[in-house]
């Protein structure tokens, strides 16, 4: 499906920039923009050209908002139409969905996100999804003296000389901002995909040190989901084509919480000129793949995508709706293994029906699975965040 990605604020802009760097030529990325009040944050982006970066909110003076969500909301209400127009050169009417990527604990991005979601819904007949980074518990704690709040705000603190030591930024209002922004986005978006930063950090790792890796993990999962139904011209057509309506049915339309799981396993790419393969798709001569190896690879990635680390915790694995996409070299996409995986996933999630699709990659070297679950029970981390304003 063709998705237009808008990165709002620092975290959203970095992830949008990562998507542009890694998927800029892929057909699923219909457009990408980064919007922020902070000129320095926009200037630090690498892959997005100046025409894709836009500073809004002159009242902020070119800086951030210091955690003031109310100021961010006022700016969002005042500038939502302006941000919508800043996307026009990429022809957003072609998009089949919009994805707003934002750090939920911030002020500029989190404040503007609800107003922009409402504006996009008013202008276009396409669902608006939100992908939001949850703040870590450590962000609201007082600094321990190793790095002051001013230096920690950017995720680094000077250790000695010019050697920066990554830290966790001190943002005392982050959890309350996130709670209010989650509620606002749930009212205005078709679905919200939270990304739990705390769950993805390694033991003793500061947020500043893990930020690039976390942005990369988020971009990988966004690309895996929205890119699954788009194949380059001249490649094999999936037997079960995944389109925007499938994603919409799986994600839902009432602002529910959804989680993305993703897993890959490297396999040997079949040599050309051999016998007909065992996969879903035929060709003039892909090599044969051992059935047991194909079955094992498919079953493994489905289970890892479901039970491995998702973008957010899925309590007891259950969900109201589930989407499964299996991709890889056609000869490795064993039909019976995928059907067995769907049955296992239905039992695992308790979903009445599993939507599914496939993504053949003729010259690929890995089998992959994407599992999307929507209408999940509230994860513990989100419950903790909501309790800050209860």
Which pTM was predicted?
0.89
**Predicted pLDDT of residue 243:** 86
**Predicted pLDDT of residue 366:** 95
pLDDT in tens, 308-355: 999 999 999 999 999 999 999 999 999 999 999 999 999 999 988 789
**Predicted pLDDT of residue 140:** 87
**Predicted pLDDT of residue 277:** 42
Compare 242 and 222 and report the one with higher pLDDT: 222
pLDDT in tens, 24-37: 999 999 999 999 99
* Cβ neighbour number for residue 232 with a 10 Å cutoff: 10
Query: Residue 177 and residue 179: Cα distance in Å, rounded?
Result: 6
- What residues does 134 pair with on adjacent strands? 196
**Predicted pLDDT of residue 380:** 97
**Predicted pLDDT of residue 228:** 84
pLDDT in tens, 32-62: 999 999 999 999 999 999 999 999 988 665 5
Among the residue ranges 2-16, 78-92, 166-180, the one predicted with the least confidence is 166-180
Whole-number percent of the chain with pLDDT over 90: 74
**Predicted pLDDT of residue 288:** 79
Secondary structure, 3-state, the chain: CCEEEEEEHHHHHHHHHHHHHHHCCCCCEEEEEEEECCHHHHHCCCCCCHHHEEECCHHHCCCCCCCCHHHHHHHHHHHHHHHHHHCHHHCHHHCCEEEEEEECCCCHHHHHHHHHHHHHHHHCCCCEEEEEEECCHHHHCCCCCCCCHHHHCCCEEEEECCEEEECCCCCCCHHHHHHHHHHHHHHHCCEEEEEEHHHHCCCCCCHHHHHHHHHHHHHHHHHHHHCCCCCCCCCCCCCCCCCHHHHHHHHCCCCEEEEEEEEEEECCCCCECCCCCCCCCCCCCECCCCHHHHHHHHHHHHHHHHHCCCCCCCHHHCCCEEEEEEEECHHHCCHHHHHHHHHHHHHHHCCCCEEEEEEECCCCCEEEEEEEEECCCCCHHHHHHHHCCC
Closest C-alpha to 193, from 374, 326, 384, 32? 374
Domain boundaries, the chain: 3-227, 249-374
**Predicted pLDDT of residue 362:** 85
The verdict on domain 3-227 having CATH code 3.40.50.1440 is yes
**Predicted pLDDT of residue 354:** 86
Question: Which fold does the domain 249-374 belong to in CATH?
Answer: 60s Ribosomal Protein L30; Chain: A; (3.30.1330)
pLDDT in tens, 170-224: 889 999 999 999 999 999 999 999 999 999 999 989 999 999 999 999 999 999 9
Q: If you average pLDDT over every residue of the chain, what do you get?
A: 87
**Predicted pLDDT of residue 287:** 61
pLDDT band at 145 (very low <50, low <70, confident <90, very high): low
**Predicted pLDDT of residue 372:** 97
Residue 263 has pLDDT above 50, yes or no: yes
Residue 83 has pLDDT above 50, yes or no: yes
pLDDT in tens, 109-144: 999 999 999 999 999 999 999 999 999 999 988 766
C-beta separation of 263 from 304 below 8 A:
yes
Domain 249-374 in the same topology as domain 3-227: no
Average pLDDT over residues 215-240: 79
């Amino acid at each position: 499906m063709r998705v237009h990605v808008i990165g709002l604020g620092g975290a959203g802009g970095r992830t949008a920039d990562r998507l542009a760097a890694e998927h800029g030529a892929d057909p699923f990325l219909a457009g990408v923009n980064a919007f922020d009040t902070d000129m320095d944050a926009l200037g630090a982006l690498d892959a997005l050209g100046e025409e894709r970066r836009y500073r809004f909110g002159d009242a902020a003076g070119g800086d951030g908002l210091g955690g003031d969500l109310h100021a961010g909301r006022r700016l969002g209400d005042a500038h939502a139409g302006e941000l919508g127009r800043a996307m026009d050169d990429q022809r957003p009417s072609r998009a089949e969905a919009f994805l707003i990527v934002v750090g939920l604990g911030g002020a500029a991005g989190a404040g503007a996100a609800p107003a922009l979601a409402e504006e996009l819904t008013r202008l276009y007949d396409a669902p608006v999804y939100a992908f939001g980074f949850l703040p870590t518990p450590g962000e609201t704690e007082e600094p321990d003296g190793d790095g002051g709040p001013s230096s920690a705000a950017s995720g680094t603190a000077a250790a000695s000389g010019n050697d920066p030591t990554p830290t966790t930024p001190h943002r005392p209002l982050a959890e309350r901002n996130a709670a209010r922004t989650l509620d606002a986005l749930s009212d205005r978006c078709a679905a919200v995909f939270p990304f739990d930063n705390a769950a993805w950090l390694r033991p003793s790792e500061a947020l500043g040190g893990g930020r690039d890796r976390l942005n990369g993990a988020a971009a990988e999962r966004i690309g895996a989901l929205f890119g699954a139904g788009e194949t380059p011209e001249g490649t094999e057509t999936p037997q079960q084509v995944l389109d925007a309506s499938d994603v919409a049915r799986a994600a839902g339309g009432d602002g529910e919480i959804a989680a993305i799981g993703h897993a890959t396993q490297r396999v040997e790419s079949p040599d050309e000129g051999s016998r007909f393969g065992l996969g879903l798709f035929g060709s003039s001569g892909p090599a044969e793949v051992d059935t047991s190896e194909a079955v094992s690879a498919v079953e493994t990635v489905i289970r890892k995508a479901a039970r491995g680390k998702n973008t957010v915790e899925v309590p007891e694995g259950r969900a109201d709706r589930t989407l499964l996409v299996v991709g890889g070299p056609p000869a490795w996409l064993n039909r019976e293994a995928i059907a067995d995986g769907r049955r296992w996933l239905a039992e695992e999630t308790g979903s009445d029906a599993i939507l599914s699709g496939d993504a053949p990659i003729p010259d690929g070297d890995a089998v992959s699975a994407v599992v999307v679950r929507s209408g999940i029970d509230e994860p513990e981390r989100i419950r903790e965040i909501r309790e800050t304003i209860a």
